[in-house]
Structure 1
Amino acid sequence: MTVINLFRVGDRYFFKHYFRDRGVFEELRPYYDSLEYRFEVWEEEMEDLVKKLRFHGFNLKIVEEDQIPDYTVIIDKYVKHKDLLRNAVDVIELGDEKALVMKDMVAKEEALDRGREPDEEWRERL
């Protein structure tokens, strides 16, 4: 069963997933942010979202704010990284670096080839 990580930030949850079944995507379209290329769900909508995703066979894992650095890779903002954005839930810039919050640990491990773990300065910002 596929696991989708839901990243909690305040009273919102973010996630990124490619749904092969167009019908599932259409059902979840109200939560989709086409500018950020991710799904965004408010706390009060979570029960409905969880029911829909579980009905379609997905397991969910909540990633709390303090766990976000564990899913993050720091890269030089001038390094080519367009392909990494496909698996990034969020991107934060600081100086000449970018923090890519990856959708899961597999994506993070793949991105570490071109980046590094967040240091203390980045951990405080995340």
Structure 2
Amino acid sequence: MPTFDADPERITAFRVDDRYLFAHYFEREDLFDRLREYYDGEQYRFAVPADEFPTVRADLAEEYVEFEVVEDLEPYCVVKEQYTEHADILRDSVAHWERRGHLFFLLESELAVREAVERGATPVAETDFVVGL
């Protein structure tokens, strides 16, 4: 009988205070339905309370979905001056905020960070700013 190894779908989840944030489009509606209570439609992301995350993680692992948990947000954060073109960067963000005339973005992947830098953003690590949501 043939067998196959399926590569799991990987999602980056960011630990922010007492919750885990992630942005992901689930092609399978049944998976989205399982997480619907955590979905923030205004921010286009999921926010799972920290005490519920282990259950969500285990549940989705059975469906070949794995989370990469990130607690150090700085490598995933970029900044741009306010009132500059940023729509493409915003589209790849899990969170964004404004401070002192600048826009900050927590991006969903290292690839998104590289693309944002190509679009004129600066990694927060290369500035005098610190990450603070």
Q: TM-score, normalised by structure 2?
A: 0.84
Distance in 1 separating the partners of 2:62 and 2:36: 16
* Residue 124 (structure 1) shift: 5.3
Distance in 1 separating the partners of 2:9 and 2:111: 13
Match among 37, 44, 52 for residue 51 of structure 2: 44
Conservation of the 8 A alpha-carbon contact between 2:73 and 2:131 = no
3-state SS of paired residue (1:80): coil
Conservation of the 8 A alpha-carbon contact between 2:11 and 2:67 = yes
Name the structure with the higher helix share: 1
Greater displacement, 116-125 / 33-42: 116-125
Percent identity, aligned pairs only, is 31
Q: Which runs of 4+ in 1 moved over 3 A?
A: none
**2:100 matches 1:95:** yes
Match among 105, 113, 122 for residue 116 of structure 1: 122
- Computing the radius of gyration from Cα coordinates, the structure with the larger value is 2
* Residue 86 (structure 1) shift: 2.0
Indicate the RMSD between aligned Cα atoms, in angstroms.
1.6
**2:77 matches 1:83:** no
Residue 72 of structure 1 is matched in structure 2 by 77
Matches within 5 A, 1:4-83: 4-64=11-71, 67-83=72-88
Distance in 1 separating the partners of 2:129 and 2:92: 20
Alignment length, in residue pairs?
124
Distance in 2 separating the partners of 1:3 and 1:98: 27
* Residue 101 (structure 1) shift: 0.4
**Structure 1, unaligned runs of 5 or more:** none
**Structure 2, unaligned runs of 5 or more:** 1-7
3-state SS of paired residue (1:41): strand
